[in-house]
Homo-oligomer: A and B are copies of this chain.
Amino acid sequence: MTEITGLELTDISASCATSLVGEPLTAEDAEELAHTMKALADPARLRLLSIVAASAGGEACVCDLTEPVGLSQPTVSHHLKVLTEAGFLSRTKRGTWAYYALIPGALDRVSRALGAA
């Protein structure tokens, strides 16, 4: 699991000046950015992210997501966890439901890390 003890997207913004096309990435920066992008580099997670973003109120619960992506509930839950730990989604529990929402600016930070203008 490796777990990278709690440094996620927030830390990328810390070393936000590193823009990939500027000067060579250090091994640590590359590891961080790769870890963040790995969370994004999966078709199921990209779809989940886009569905959540396009949902009414900007949030969706697991039961709304399992059918559109055609995956089992545990698998969807797993993907949502990955996205949450990577700093892309927030999780709010109301009643028995867990609502996931896109964290504003999270994707932009990745864009900037890639050297977006």
Which A positions have Cβ atoms within 8 angstroms of B? 20-25, 27, 30-31, 33-34, 37-38, 40-47, 49-51, 53-54, 68, 102, 107-108, 110-112, 114-117
- Smallest CB gap from A23: residue in B: B54
Q: Which residues of B contact A30 (CB under 8 A)?
A: 43-44, 46-47, 50
Asked whether B114 lies within 8 Å of A110 as measured between CB atoms, the reply is: yes
Asked whether B34 lies within 8 Å of A41 as measured between CB atoms, the reply is: yes
Cα distance A46–B115 when bound, in Å?
12
Asked whether B108 lies within 8 Å of A24 as measured between CB atoms, the reply is: no
Residue from B23, B31, B54 in contact with A50 in the complex, judged by beta carbons closer than 8 Å: B23
Cα distance A37–B107 when bound, in Å?
13
Q: Which residues of B contact A44 (CB under 8 A)?
A: 30
Do A41 and B43 contact each other (CB < 8 Å), given the known contacts A20-B50, A50-B21?
A: no
